Chain A
Amino acid sequence: MSGALFSLSWNGTEPAWLKNWRIQSGASGFRKSEPGRSGQEARGWGALIPPLLFPPEDPQADSSASPLPHLEAKIQQTHSLARLLTKYAEQLLQEYVQHQGDPFGLPGFSPPRLPVADLSDPAPGHAGLPVPERLRLDAAALAALPPLLDVVRRLQGELNPRALRLLRRLEDAARQVRALGAAVEAVLAALGAESRGPRPEPAAAAVAASTASAGVFPAKVLGFRVCGLYLEWVSRTEADLGQLAPGGPA
């Protein structure tokens, strides 16, 4: 499926990518993977999508249903998750700042945007990319975030052992961002735009070691940076998914 498939024009009822997809797929319904079938024939849309991530409940009833409602539901669900996590990320950042003391809580405090291993800032230049390509970048960033959040949680466990809610939020954030990453991957798979191969092993351990040895302030800055990146990436993921969701922007 080419990038042109995901043109973002909006005709008032459904996105063009959806219409194109409908045409290309013939809207023939999900073909379930059948035992004994293999290769391209057995790889219907349904086969590409992890069943767990789909609206579940009656697989029998789904056999003859159009895949479009499933795809739309999946996009809608993932978009809602991204929105929810964006809100959670805002709360996490606020809570993080509260526990770091000055100068983190001071107005106008803006630490340098130091590079973080495995994770870059969402680049403005990505705006011109097709949505699937942007989603691939989102998925890669989301995959890099959990180990970094784990590192921050460990560092905060040492720096602020009594900030239980912050620690719990950091732990939840790592888990939630993994779920969002998997959901985005599933959407990409459903759209036929597989994410790119295995990712390199995260260098989170090295980051943690180097940061811990550098001192308290760098550790706090790292946490601030990671929480900020977490917010930026889930926010961007929300925006990207919003363009796919029915009723999304023109």
Chain B
Amino acid sequence: MPTQILQIAFIQKYLCKMFTLQTWIVQALFIFLTTESIGELIVPCAHIHPESSVVQLGSNFTAVCVLKEKCMDDYHVTANDIFWKTGRVPVPYEQYSVINRTASSVTFPNITLINALLTCNIRMFGQINRSVYGIRIISGLPPEKPKNLSCIVNEGKKMMCQWDPGRETYLETNYTLKSEWATEKFDDCKAKRDTPTSCTVDYPPVYFVNIEVWVEAENALGKVTSDHINFDPVDKVKLNPPHILSVNSSKELSSILKLTWTDSRFKSFITLKYDIQYRTKDASTWNQVPPEDTSSTRSSFTVQDLKPFTEYVFRIRCMKEDGKGYWSDWSEEASGITYEDRPSKAPNFWYKIEPSHAHGTRSIQLKWKTLPPFEANGKILDYEVTLTKWKSHSQNYTVKDTKLTVNLTNDRYVATLTARNLVGKSDASVLTIPAWDFQGNLVESKCYLITVTPVYDDGPGSPKHIKAYLKQAAPSRGPTVRTKKVGKNEAVLEWDHLPIDVQNGFIRNYTIFYRTVIGNEIAVNVDSSHTEYTLSSLTSDTLYMVRMAAYTDEGGKDGPEFTFTTPKFAQGEIEAIVVPVCLAFLLTTLLGVLFCFNKRDLIKKHIWPNVPDPSKSHIAQWSPHTPPRHFNSKDQMYPDGNFTDVSVVEIEANDKKPFPEDLKSLDLFKKEKVNTEGHSSGIGGSSCMSSSRPSISSSDENESAQNTSSTVQYSTVVHSGYRHQVPSVQVFSRSESTQPLLDSEERPEDLQLVDNVDGSDGILPRQRYFKQNCSQHETSPDISHFERSQQVSSVNEEDFVRLKQQQISDHISQPYGSGKMKMFQEVPAVDAFGPGIEGQVERFETVGMEDAVDEGMPKSYLPQTVRRGGYMPQ
């Protein structure tokens, strides 16, 4: 047993500071207290699980104490006899839980900051308590991700990185700085315990090679890695400060000092910029040289705008020109003195008359003060005094002292004084020494300048001046006022100050009087310091009379009257009215033009519809014998097949051939089909129902057809031919009918499509039919058009009529442009209109057949040509 004690004491002596081992020591101590020796082995009486005792703050912690069977037998205890202590404080029984006969657990919910000994104890017979095992519980937090990792490379030293470790962990946390190149890794840099937020690497930095750096933080509760940063060490460098070699002045310029320095050796590899500061020797604040003047590598700089003969102190620092990295420390301060300049001010001086016994002369002592350094601008070598008697030669004296005593006559003298330094002389101070018999002869109304100069033992002080009148009077004349600027409702008046010799006193104020021809006079007081005043609230286009009086303490005097007229309009007012109106007018006009341009078709329809001119009709050329090639003429008529518009004539209720008559014509048509073909007064494709349908006229060339909303006169072709009979004499007469034109006449695309019948027979039969909307020749030789007509008629005669109406309404609702025409051609009519059109399609096909049938006989009812501007005769 003593051996065991020695062992434990030994361990405790050398490892007591190490936390983990400390826990073991504590455990060992308890083991010693409650173990049985079995030979050389030490067997603890119980164990606590877990052995790890670091707990995260805020978590629940449960420890289980398991008794050994031997102990239980020896001490006659079970798990029920276990109780827990933290330190010396028993844990409440509510936190216990007896798991089985040998094990008891204790739970600490939401554990707080703790660093305590948790012991498992047993209560033996006789209320004897004994600790059987113990662990140390330490609570803490896992490390947070280190943030704000940054590195600095002090020139000539190794790289140091620092970071923000985040929250307190309450645990021993190790921070390791890791770094690597693309080509190799560097040794880890472990932060010291006393500086856990920074680490200086062991290797020298290599500039111009990017390095990647990051930090790992680790404690008993976890490990976390910071973000990696990747940089070129040269961008993190803090250079050594420059060393100022000299501060030199210039004889030529007393306001400059030239600073020269030596830089870091690094400047041969990178461009530097500098920060130069200076101050006078006694000042505490630094002046800054503009950074833009020192933004490149250099070894000297001339500081300007300095005071002459003044000592300045300089310091300088540098960094990489691109701003990456850190400013170096400030250099050691160096000072220099600017060169001298001539004194900037003449010294003040005065005279003192000393009593003299000699008749006719007097002793005058001239005294002055030394210039302060900022005015002396150098070392004053001597003073030069000049005394000049009235209209006589002058006497010069050079004095090193600050006083001069001379014997003068009783005459009036003018004395001048200049100070001289190495560079030059100051301006001269002038002093008049009055004659001995000088007596005051002051007069009234004259302004006198009274100067009082204090004279101290060491010389004169600063003189003070004041103006004074013996007695004031009213001014001799008043000020002359004039206008500076005249506006619609205001006028700016200006005047000059009165000359001193007419003021006769101190001008205290001015009064401005102004009036209109018929109005009352208005007076305005103005301070005497002003030379300008603005009259406001004036009436426009009015003549004003204004005068001004100046007042001293003794009275005033009016000046001459001045007249001016306010303008009717303010400046720019006319322009402000006219310009917007013009702009509005232009805008309105432009919008109107645009509107008319956009709606030109509509306007044209309403204002000048395109009415076919019967006089230009060429029906005279029509002959019933002409073969049906007449449609080819449409190629010339509409060479490009482009139609800009189609209008439908509105059918009036009292039309001679209203819509319902379509049915009649349909009947007629059917009858014709039954009997024979070609009985129609119509021409070409529009022959079928032409007699009873509204007319649609085709327009000139590509010009859109116009809607003839009113009835128009047009000609009707009357011919005596019928069917295949050729009239011997073709009779044409102009009809006086007011019947509207048929829509088929106004739908040139119909005609064009009919053209296609000839040109590409059988290619677009459905389209042709749809466009033509009347019976055409069927090209199929199998079925006669009569039969087809009958089939269609018998199947869906009502549908056909409805379709006709629908077509007309479609024409009304949407004019067909060329684009739409094209679209229509591309869309199969059957698909577009559904099954109801089928019959019509078939009917159209019969027309083709009719053409075939009529091939060998005269087509007396078909026109040969359709002329421009004409119309399709019914």
Contact = CB atoms under 8 A, between A and B. Distances in A.
Interface of A: 50, 52-57, 77-78, 80-81, 83-84, 172, 175-176, 178-183
Q: Is the interface of B mostly helix, strand, loop or mixed?
A: loop
B208 A84 contact: yes
Contacts of A179: 181-183, 206, 209
B230 A57 contact: yes
Nearest to B266: A84
10 contacts: A53-B210, A55-B232, A80-B207, A81-B208, A81-B209, A83-B268, A175-B184, A179-B183, A182-B182, A182-B183
A81 B210 CA distance: 11
A50 B183 CA distance: 11
A56 B207 contact: no
B269 interface: yes
B204 A83 contact: no
Given A84-B269, A179-B183, A56 B208 contact: no
Contacts of A172: 203-204, 206
A175 B182 CA distance: 11
A238 to B, nearest CB: 11
Nearest to A168: B204
A57 B181 contact: no
B427 interface: no
Contacts of B564: none
Contacts of A77: 208, 210, 232
Contact of B209 (A55, A83, A183): A183
A52 B208 contact: no
B231 interface: yes
Contact of A52 (B203, B230, B269, B270): B230
A230 to B, nearest CB: 15
Contacts of A183: 208-209
Given A80-B269, A179-B183, A57 B231 contact: yes
A50 B184 contact: no
Interface in B817-838: none
Q: Is the interface of A mostly helix, strand, loop or mixed?
A: helix
Contacts of B268: 83
B212 interface: yes
A52 B182 CA distance: 6
Given A56-B231, A57-B230, A175 B206 contact: yes
A50 to B, nearest CB: 5
B114 to A, nearest CB: 43
A83 B269 contact: yes
Interface string B176-215: 0000011110000000000000000001101111101000
Nearest to B232: A77
Contact of B206 (A53, A55, A83, A176): A176
B212 to A, nearest CB: 6
B500 to A, nearest CB: 70
Contact of A78 (B204, B208, B234): B208
Contacts of A178: 181, 183-184
B209 to A, nearest CB: 4
- List the 7 closest A-B pairs by CB distance, nearest first: A81-B208, A56-B230, A52-B182, A179-B209, A80-B208, A182-B183, A178-B183
Contacts of B184: 175, 178
A53 B206 CA distance: 13
Contacts of B208: 77-78, 80-81, 84, 183
Contacts, number: 59
Interface centre among B208, B212, B231, B270, by most A CB within 10 Å? B208
A54 B208 CA distance: 11
Contacts of A180: 209
B206 A52 contact: no
Contacts of B182: 50, 52-53, 179, 182
Contact of A56 (B203, B210, B234): B210
Contacts of A52: 181-182, 210, 212, 230
B181 to A, nearest CB: 6
Interface in B212-260: 212, 229-232, 234
A83 B269 CA distance: 8
A235 B558 CA distance: 96
Contacts of B232: 55, 77
Nearest to A172: B204
Given A52-B212, A56-B230, A56-B231, A81 B207 contact: yes
Contacts of B183: 178-179, 181-182
A180 B210 CA distance: 11
B207 A84 contact: yes
Nearest to A78: B208
B264 to A, nearest CB: 13
B557 to A, nearest CB: 78
B472 to A, nearest CB: 79
Given A179-B183, A182-B183, A54 B210 contact: yes
Nearest to B182: A52
Interface string B343-359: 00000000000000000
Given A57-B231, A77-B232, 19 more contacts: A52-B181, A52-B210, A55-B232, A56-B210, A56-B231, A80-B207, A80-B269, A80-B270, A81-B206, A81-B208, A83-B268, A172-B203, A172-B204, A175-B203, A176-B209, A178-B183, A179-B182, A181-B183, A182-B181
Contacts of A53: 182, 210
A72 to B, nearest CB: 14
A166 to B, nearest CB: 14
A95 to B, nearest CB: 15
Nearest to A178: B183
B269 to A, nearest CB: 6
Contacts of A83: 268-269
A175 B187 CA distance: 13
A54 B235 CA distance: 13
Contacts of B269: 80, 83-84
A181 B209 CA distance: 11
B8 to A, nearest CB: 46
A178 B182 CA distance: 10
Contacts of B231: 56-57
Nearest to A175: B184
A129 to B, nearest CB: 25
A183 to B, nearest CB: 7
Contacts of A57: 229-231
B173 to A, nearest CB: 28
A6 B321 CA distance: 30
A159 B268 CA distance: 35
Contacts of B181: 52, 178-179, 182
A78 B182 CA distance: 14
A84 B232 CA distance: 14
B856 to A, nearest CB: 73
B525 to A, nearest CB: 69
Contacts of A50: 182
Interface centre among B209, B212, B231, B270, by most A CB within 10 Å? B209
A204 to B, nearest CB: 17
Contacts of B206: 81, 172, 175-176, 179
Contacts of A78: 208
Contacts of B212: 52
Nearest to A77: B208
Contacts of B209: 81, 176, 179-180, 183
Nearest to B208: A81
B153 to A, nearest CB: 13
B761 to A, nearest CB: 56
A183 B210 CA distance: 10
A175 B185 CA distance: 10
Nearest to A182: B183
Interface string B298-312: 000000000000000
A84 B234 CA distance: 12
B420 to A, nearest CB: 56
A80 to B, nearest CB: 4
A162 to B, nearest CB: 20
A77 B208 CA distance: 5
Nearest to A51: B230
